[in-house]
Amino acid sequence: MLIGGSLGGQQGMMLAFVFALVMNVGSYWFSDKIVLRMYRATEVGPDHPLYRVTARLAQKAGLPMPKVYSIPDASPNAFATGRNPQHAAVAATEGILRLLSESELEGVIAHELAHVQNRDILISTVAATIAAAIMMLANMARFAAIFGGSSRDDRENGSPLVLLVTAILAPIAAMLIQAAISRQREFAADRRGADIVGTPLGLAQALRRIDAAAKQIPLDANPATAHMFIIKPFSLGAIGSLFSTHPPTEARIQALMGAQARML
């Protein structure tokens, strides 16, 4: 709203508010249906091994039973979605079911249930929405700086150069903050997932195996949903890692093994 007001006065502030509100509400209520349809996920029942593992761990975590989905993809990965624990869903690819042992699969599903319990789906949605709103407003700022403002408010806000620099840096800062929040929530879900299972060993081994296999069989994922998966679906270079939604897999494994050492 501050950025919108600086660009367009009262009208710009109202536009920014409406834009952010609509995106937040839409993402909060419908993102689960959108992403499940995007990956052609199909719901599975009690006779499916993924359902049985999820039911057992949901009970241990004190969570309502989420819907469980299988994704027809050979790349090993999994995610959780849904607006709250009462409307949650857990999805895993066919590749992850073929790759992991039962104890490793338990670690993965416990990690996803931890996201549900911590309401990380809502947190990541809000962070992504704020970043998207800032990027939209930054585009407006670049347009105003290049072509000149059309209102008195625009002309009183300083030089076009300052406006242009702010417009370039604002979305970069927003993406960095969004990525940092996502990385922190991954560490938290790893810790809580290990608590649910009772040991971090299964999840640590699962992360190592998924990371290696995903490089051999990458998932054709939409970048907008990359933050949802237990392992990032595609690799990034050194600069790109600053914007990564996931911590380095080795760092996650070391944190889990440190937790194991403290349990002994």
Give me the catalytic one of 102, 112, 186, 250: 112
Q: What are the b/e assignments for 234-254, b being 16+ CB within 10 Å?
A: eeeeeeeeeebbbbebeebbe
In the chain, DSSP assigns E strands to 42-43, 67-71, 78-82, 88-93
Distance CA 88, CA 122 (A): 11
Q: Give the whole-angstrom CA distance, residue 132 versus residue 126.
A: 10
Distance CA 158, CA 141 (A): 12
Q: Are 192 and 117 in contact (CB under 8 A)?
A: yes
Query: Does 250 qualify as catalytic in the annotation?
Result: no
Residues 228, 219: Cα–Cα separation, whole Å: 13
Nearest to 130 by CA among 167, 170, 174, 192: 174
Which positions are annotated as active-site residues? 112
